[in-house]
Amino acid sequence: MSFFSMMLKMSEGLSKTCAIFFLTLLFSLPLGMLVALMRMSRNRFISTVTRGIISVLRGTPLMLQLLAVTYGPYYLFGFSVSRNKLIPVVIAFAINYAAYFAEIYRGGIESIPKGQYEAAQVLGYSRLRTFLRIILPQVVKRIMPSITNEVVTLVKDTSIAFTVSYQEMFTIGKQIANSQTSFLPFVVAGIFYFAFNAIVDFGMGRVEKRLNYYR
């Protein structure tokens, strides 16, 4: 296989890596906020159950969760989640990252002084309006560095999809390396991941600078 053919083949895997990345963020970011609000609920039952779920998701390997979502339904109930492995991969990634984002959100929300809630109440703001107009913008600014760190980690974690034979970039690189008895595909994959992360880091940095007026 020529170098050009190898790059072309791995670029096909890169598109699937991007699909995992963007779909995971699309679902995990809002889901994480919902989980965070449930974790902070005044209802002790909801709060306790949510805390337990978060502990399980953060305390077990993403690889194990990926295998459980992909193959668990078949072994437990006799049916497959989907023939398209992108679906269980995104489900597993979104649930896992939602747990981490939930704790980041919770830390940001709890860092806001209670006096701001009281001031908003005096001004006649509803709880929802207070959260959306006053609290959330400040929370977003405060948690951006932590969110960026998780997003960068997600880029690298997409390679874990190889455990369920999903044909993303690392899986294709591994197949080419085995067939060609060469380490070059892994080097190329590393360059792809580095470039992807550089773009993500730059983009998140721009967003963080745009939010500086919330200081």
Q: Residue 215 pLDDT > 60, yes or no? A: no
- pLDDT of res. 120: 82
Could you report the per-residue pLDDT of 187-196, keeping only the tens digit for each? 888 888 999 8
**Mean pLDDT taken over the chain:** 87
Cβ proximity of 28 and 158 under 8 Å: no
CATH 1.10.3720.10 fits 3-214, yes or no: yes
Residue-level length of the chain:
215
Q: Residue 212 pLDDT > 80, yes or no? A: no
Write down the domain spans for the chain. Answer: 3-214
Dihedral, 47, 50, 54, 55 alpha carbons, nearest 10: 70
| Dihedral class, residue 78 (left if φ above 0, else alpha if ψ from -120 to 50, else beta) | left
Residue 176 CB partners (closer than 8 Å, separation 6+)? 1, 6, 9, 10, 182, 185
DSSP-H helix ranges across 1-113: 3-39, 44-59, 62-77, 86-110
Closest CA to 140 of 105, 102, 112: 105
Span 52-66, mean pLDDT? Answer: 94
| pTM of the model as a whole | 0.88
Span 3-12, mean pLDDT? Answer: 76
Distance CA 194, CA 197 (A): 5
Residue 98 CB partners (closer than 8 Å, separation 6+)? 27, 28, 31, 32, 35, 57
Q: What is the CA radius of gyration of the chain?
A: 21
Q: Is the dihedral of CA 193, 195, 201, 204 positive or negative?
A: negative
Q: Residue 139 pLDDT > 60, yes or no? A: yes
